[in-house]
Structure 1
Amino acid sequence: MAKGAEERGHARAALDADSVREAYRRWAGVYDTVFGGVSGFGRRRAVAAVNRLAGPNVLEVGVGTGLALPQYRRDLQVVGIDLSRHMLDIARQRVASERLTNVRGLLEMDAERMAFADGAFDIAVAMFTASVVPDARRLFAEMSRVVRPGGHLLFVNHFAAEGGPRWWVERAMAPLSRRLGWHPDFALRDLLDPETTRVDSIEPCPPAGIFTLVTLRNPVAETRALAAE
């Protein structure tokens, strides 16, 4: 294993479900203020993409404080899951105050081990979640499992630079993964295998392309199995 890959592996191992819960317990009260603005462009672009797709049943993985919930078409039936009960408490307050009757449930759930049946949803979207979970390949496999064949998977995330000054900064921050609650050096290949997974589109989002929207059709069963390994 190359040294860089080995270092990324150590950083990945340091982030587990308990550290994610603890990080987002700390962030919950200020998340909208600190991250809501800079992440807003990517969030709006992802929801707009969801709103253009067919199929009424939508799963938002890592719903957080529910910032995206008011933006979905009201004829879509939305279920959100998150590992942080503190974030979910704020999301539930948002749903009540804005009377979002199309939000059918907000559940505390591990995105790597979802309790939904196979093919329960038409669309699954994960916004700023892939670099938070301990094992993004398992996240991808689970999202693929719970979306029907021919359905859609969407991801908005920060993906690490391939080189240059930003690469050095992200690499230097990697040992802080546990404290931050996310992987600064997260790469697209940590989420999916570009050699075996057909991606429909990769679209940089403002500001300055910091975030990227990745969309794809739900992979076939063989690809799901590879992603889960």
Structure 2
Amino acid sequence: MPRSTFRNDPSRRVLEEKGLMDAYARWAPVYDVVFGPTVEAGRKAAVEIANRTGGRLLDVGVGTGLSLPLYRPDAAVTGVDLSPQMLARARDRVRRAGLANIEAIREMDAQNLAFPDESFDTVVSMYTITAVPDPIRVMQEIVRVTKPGGTIVIVSHFHSGHPVWGRVENLLTPLTRRLGWRPELSLDAIAAVEDAELRQQRRLGLLNLFSVVEFVRAG
């Protein structure tokens, strides 16, 4: 995937962000029922890695907050998302479950995280990086707000290098974009971001459609 798909085309960025917002506004009322079981394995695997560290934790693309009850109670968790509809459900989940370790749920663009450099011990982003207009920018922001030596966990589908599967993914692009994510991002592209050191990749499911990828923030 090119390093940037829209930095020289602001109108395209606006259109893609509007499409993303519209997609998640549509899915918010039924997200937990439709996607909850589908993404459960990746969610649990990501949280398992994140819970090794504790400290200050940022969940980028927290959505309806399905991950929030799973984080260790001594972690200080902040969740951010661009969708007000998703965040309303996340806040309701925190309230109903009495999750005292959730410090904040904030509306925020993952491409421009409003946190100082090196703010978090762990940053987790599940099923988000392939949904945004500029995935490389998001990864750069994630790395920026992670402390040196901190853990970054990304859960996503990454484009297959297989000649057959890659072609199938390309054909399915119009459908997957309507679902709110894009299939063309490669793992190599985000692993090339400065100070993101790839530690391990674990594929999920029978078809290996999704991966849990752990990075350490260099420095």
| TM-score, with length taken from structure 2 | 0.88
Could you say which residue in structure 1 is the equivalent of 2:32? 32
In 2, Cα distance between equivalents of 1:65 and 1:207? 26
Q: 1:194: how far off?
A: 7.9
Q: Deviations over 1:43-98 (max 9, x none)?
A: 00000111112x41000000000000000000001000000000000111111111
Q: Deviations over 1:4-34 (max 9, x none)?
A: x68x959xx6762221111100010111111
* Amino acid aligned to 2:105: L
* Amino acid aligned to 1:23: A
Q: Relative to 1, partners in 2 of residues 1:198 and 1:207: Cα closer, same or farther, differing over 3 Å?
A: same
Q: 1:186: how far off?
A: 2.4
Q: Deviations over 1:87-139 (max 9, x none)?
A: 00011111111111101111000001011111111110100011011111111
Q: Does 1:124 align with 2:123?
A: yes
Q: Deviations over 1:168-189 (max 9, x none)?
A: 2210122456533210222213
Q: Which secondary structure does the structure 2 equivalent of 1:37 belong to?
A: coil
Q: 1:208: how far off?
A: 3.5
Q: Relative to 1, partners in 2 of residues 1:200 and 1:186: Cα closer, same or farther, differing over 3 Å?
A: same
Q: Is the 8 A contact 1:173 1:185 kept in 2?
A: no
Name stretches of at least 5 consecutive residues in structure 1 with no aligned partner.
221-229
Q: Relative to 1, partners in 2 of residues 1:154 and 1:197: Cα closer, same or farther, differing over 3 Å?
A: same
Q: Is the 8 A contact 2:197 2:217 kept in 1?
A: no
Question: Pairwise mapping of residues 44-193 of structure 1 onto structure 2 (< 5 A)?
Answer: 44-53=44-53, 55-176=54-175, 178-193=177-192
* Amino acid aligned to 1:38: T
Q: 1:197: how far off?
A: 4.7
Q: Which secondary structure does the structure 2 equivalent of 1:41 belong to?
A: helix
Q: 1:157: how far off?
A: 0.6
Q: Which moved more, 1:155-164 or 1:170-179?
A: 170-179
Q: Which secondary structure does the structure 1 equivalent of 2:191 belong to?
A: coil
Q: Relative to 1, partners in 2 of residues 1:87 and 1:77: Cα closer, same or farther, differing over 3 Å?
A: same
| TM-score, with length taken from structure 1 | 0.85
Q: Which secondary structure does the structure 2 equivalent of 1:16 belong to?
A: helix
Name stretches of at least 5 consecutive residues in structure 2 with no aligned partner.
7-11
Instruction: State the identity %.
Output: 40
In 1, Cα distance between equivalents of 2:65 and 2:115? 20
Structure 1 vs Structure 2 CA RMSD:
2.2
Q: Relative to 1, partners in 2 of residues 1:47 and 1:159: Cα closer, same or farther, differing over 3 Å?
A: same
